[in-house]
């Protein structure tokens, strides 16, 4: 049985990447049919929670993941009430929320079909394994992150290109930028980062309507249109742009407490990525209150229920994955979501 999964993200530079990283991880689960929505109109001014009825895509989804959608410090009570009321009106669906901004956790406990986790590090604000994409996301944000200590100039160039591509009022905002990320068009983002600043004015974080378009921006916009029309152009990557494309497959990992990109390590098999992603979703699903403890058998049963009959788990394999997993802590009596 297939489950329709929807990822809804914030339309800023890190938000597009977080949504795409989460989509990629969830899409590895065989029974998941995953769509992503990053819409600047429906998420503008951080008013998403008050306008959830505008997301018609939720109607056909079984599981909904909200990523990088903050609550405003002055109106969080009303926003939390709006979210819990909305999800409680759809008891047949499961909702998950991950954000790197503080959350009104106690207020969100009112909804039994909503699971929430606050991860203050932008690089950790996703479901499933994190790649170099999340290091780029962290560099797009002002918040501190261990990922910013990685000595890789290419990451900073890609972050610069992402900020230019994601700017509000720009020609790529919304589904065009989403489809470019989905197609790994990191070469175009790298070219965008090399543009003269005169092509990218951003007063108050918005691109003026009369701002000139560079050759790189025009090329990316055409590429996005072709991808949406299912007529992708052939890429002829040079060495440096190939390195940029490789960012999406390198894994973020800790080495003696220091965050690194595992460039020379073999990537985990897709089935391992799917197992780790499902286990993380299951751990979040089991966390009905702060500090909730669950056993490995609880975790497997929950992951099996979420993933369906195509999801297969061996207890020994799961034990090995959990030893290295960054999303749980081993505690007396079992595990807790980290």
Work out the end-to-end distance of the chain between its first and last CA atoms, rounded to an integer number of angstroms.
30
pLDDT tens track for 300-336: 999 999 998 778 788 888 888 888 778 999 999 899 9
- How many angstroms separate the CA atoms of 179 and 184, rounded? 9
Single out the residue of 144, 130, 57, 73 nearest to residue 98, CA to CA.
Answer: 130
pTM: 0.90
- How many angstroms separate the CA atoms of 277 and 154, rounded? 27
For position 257, what pLDDT does the model report? Answer: 61
For position 269, what pLDDT does the model report? Answer: 42
For position 237, what pLDDT does the model report? Answer: 63
In percent, how much of the chain has pLDDT > 90?
A: 73
The answer to whether the beta carbons of residues 11 and 174 sit under 8 Å apart is yes
Residue 57 pLDDT grade (very low, low, confident, very high; cuts 50, 70, 90): very high
The answer to whether the beta carbons of residues 270 and 281 sit under 8 Å apart is no
137 pLDDT above the threshold of 80: yes
Lowest mean pLDDT across 23-27, 87-91, 123-127, 230-234: 230-234
Single out the residue of 279, 303, 283 nearest to residue 294, CA to CA.
Answer: 283
Residue 161 pLDDT grade (very low, low, confident, very high; cuts 50, 70, 90): very high
In percent, how much of the chain has pLDDT > 70?
A: 93
pLDDT tens track for 190-218: 999 999 999 999 998 899 999 999 999 99
Q: What mean pLDDT comes out for the span 170-181?
A: 97
266 pLDDT above the threshold of 60: no
For position 275, what pLDDT does the model report? Answer: 86
Q: Which long-range contacts (CB under 8 A, 24 or more apart) does 239-243 make?
A: 240/154, 240/190, 241/186, 241/187, 241/190, 241/191, 243/154
264 pLDDT above the threshold of 60: no
Single out the residue of 273, 260, 263, 175 nearest to residue 224, CA to CA.
Answer: 175
Q: Give span(s): CATH 1.10.10, the chain.
A: 270-337
- How many angstroms separate the CA atoms of 326 and 318, rounded? 13
Q: What mean pLDDT comes out for the span 153-171?
A: 96
For position 44, what pLDDT does the model report? Answer: 78
Which option is the CATH number for 270-337: 1.10.510, 1.10.3470, 2.40.128, 1.10.10? 1.10.10
Q: Which long-range contacts (CB under 8 A, 24 or more apart) does 46-51 make?
A: 46/70, 46/71, 46/72, 48/8, 48/10, 49/79, 49/80, 49/82, 49/83, 50/78, 50/79, 50/82
pLDDT tens track for 17-56: 999 999 999 999 999 999 999 999 998 776 899 999 999 9
């Amino acid at each position: 049985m297939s489950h329709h999964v929807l990822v809804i993200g914030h339309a800023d530079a890190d938000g597009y990447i977080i949504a795409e990283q989460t989509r990629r991880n969830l899409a590895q689960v065989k029974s998941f049919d995953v769509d992503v929505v990053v819409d600047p109109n429906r998420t503008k001014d951080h008013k998403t929670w008050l306008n959830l009825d505008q997301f018609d895509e939720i109607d056909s989804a079984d599981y909904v993941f909200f990523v990088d959608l903050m609550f405003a410090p002055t109106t969080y009570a009303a926003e939390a009430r709006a979210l819990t009321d909305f999800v409680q009106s759809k008891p047949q669906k499961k909702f998950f929320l991950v954000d790197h901004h503080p959350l009104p956790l106690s207020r969100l406990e009112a909804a039994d079909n909503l699971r929430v986790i606050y991860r203050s590090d932008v690089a950790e604000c996703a479901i499933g394994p994190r790649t170099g994409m999340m290091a780029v996301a962290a560099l797009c944000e002002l918040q501190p992150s261990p990922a910013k200590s990685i000595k890789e100039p290419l990451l900073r160039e890609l972050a610069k290109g992402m900020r230019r591509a994601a700017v509000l009022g720009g020609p790529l905002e919304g589904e065009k930028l989403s489809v470019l990320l989905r197609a790994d068009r990191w070469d175009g983002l790298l070219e965008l980062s090399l543009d003269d600043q005169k092509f990218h004015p951003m007063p108050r974080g918005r691109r003026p309507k009369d701002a000139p378009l560079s050759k790189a921006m025009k090329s990316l916009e055409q590429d996005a249109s072709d991808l949406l029309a299912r007529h992708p152009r052939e890429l002829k990557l040079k060495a440096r742009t190939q390195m940029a494309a490789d960012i999406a497959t390198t894994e973020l990992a800790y080495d003696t407490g220091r965050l690194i990109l595992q460039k020379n390590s073999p990537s985990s098999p897709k089935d391992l990525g799917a197992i780790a992603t499902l286990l993380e979703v299951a751990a979040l699903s089991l966390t009905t209150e702060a500090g909730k403890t669950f056993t490995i058998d609880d975790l497997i049963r929950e992951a099996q229920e979420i993933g369906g009959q195509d999801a297969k788990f061996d207890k020994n394999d799961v034990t090995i994955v959990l030893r290295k997993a960054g999303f749980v802590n081993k505690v007396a009596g079992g595990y807790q979501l980290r």
